[in-house]
Amino acid sequence: MSEKNGKDATYMEQFGAAFQKIRQNIEAECPEAEDLQLYLAAKLSGKKRRALARHLDLCPVCFEVFQRLKEAEESSHDTEIAAAWRQAEKDLDARIYPWLQQTATQHPGLAKRIWLTVRAAFSFVTQPLRWKPPMVRRAAYAGIMLAGLLAIVYGYAFFSRPPYLALARIEPEKLGAIRSAGIETDVLREGLQLLDSGHYSEAIQKLQIYLNTHPDHFQASFSLGIAYLLDARQQLPGLLYGFSSEKVKNGITWLNRAMEQAGENDFYLEDCLWYLGKAYLMLNEPQRARSYFAKILEIRRPNLMRKAAAREMLARLNAMARL
């Protein structure tokens, strides 16, 4: 008898009985096909689930059956998902590669780092689709699709913003308290309060009602122009991306009327010129905007409040024009 056969005989003599007992227990505890399906669907109770899990660790036959069930389950749910993600990867490649090639010529090494980052992120967000249970996997798929849609919407809004958007932005002012010619009626007071609190469309309605009976009131005309400019902002949560040209033009109309009503009051005049310059930046007309900011510097009265801001605005517009 060879040395190997001798060792095998000794091994079986020592441990054969134990193996036979394990084999008999395993065969006695093999689950029904129904139990395997319930286990796969995570519908077994805790105690029964743990017992079946231990059995699968010891019984290669049941484990193989379970693996086949699992593969069949995953393929039935994931065929369309997998195809969709394969197509998404192709689309991603088709869109990003041309840009990477251009970037690579200008910044060697940068394109490769960007692409590796994109692919790593893509692999990370799609990972749940590969290993989660079916219900969670479908929820993950829906979440990723929603996140992708939001990324497209925000990305388009961000990259389509007008070039002068940052300079065109205006911040709300407490207009009811500054340079007021008097608040004679409740309608005007309500309009200014609504404007101060950020309810621009309601403020527009109130101020227009007042101006129907007081057409020559500077504060009402000026405030109505500002209300239209503030109401013209187009934004997603957390992102300003443009302005409504129709509302901006309405604002310009009322600011021009207010400028006529300002008369020789240089403080009123500079306010109108400042916001008219901002309004034309909202319309992406920097040349016209520049002319209004320049007019503020031409006013000879000392101590004007917006002269320094107008000088800075002209410097920034000139710098942008040289780019």
pLDDT digits (tens, 9 = 90+) for 62-79: 777 777 777 666 555 555
Q: How confident is the model at residue 181 (pLDDT cuts 50, 70, 90)?
A: very low
pLDDT value, residue 42:
77
- CATH node for 165-322: 1.25.40.10
Position 2 pLDDT exceeds 60: no
Task: Please state the rounded mean pLDDT for residues 85-92.
Answer: 55
pLDDT digits (tens, 9 = 90+) for 195-210: 988 899 999 999 999 9
More confident residue, 271 or 126: 271
pLDDT digits (tens, 9 = 90+) for 217-263: 999 999 999 999 999 998 888 888 889 999 999 999 999 999 999 98
Give the residue range(s) of CATH 1.25.40.10 domains in the chain. Answer: 165-322
Position 84 pLDDT exceeds 80: no
Q: How far apart, in Å, do the first and last CA atoms of the chain sit?
A: 93
pLDDT value, residue 5:
53
More confident residue, 209 or 131: 209
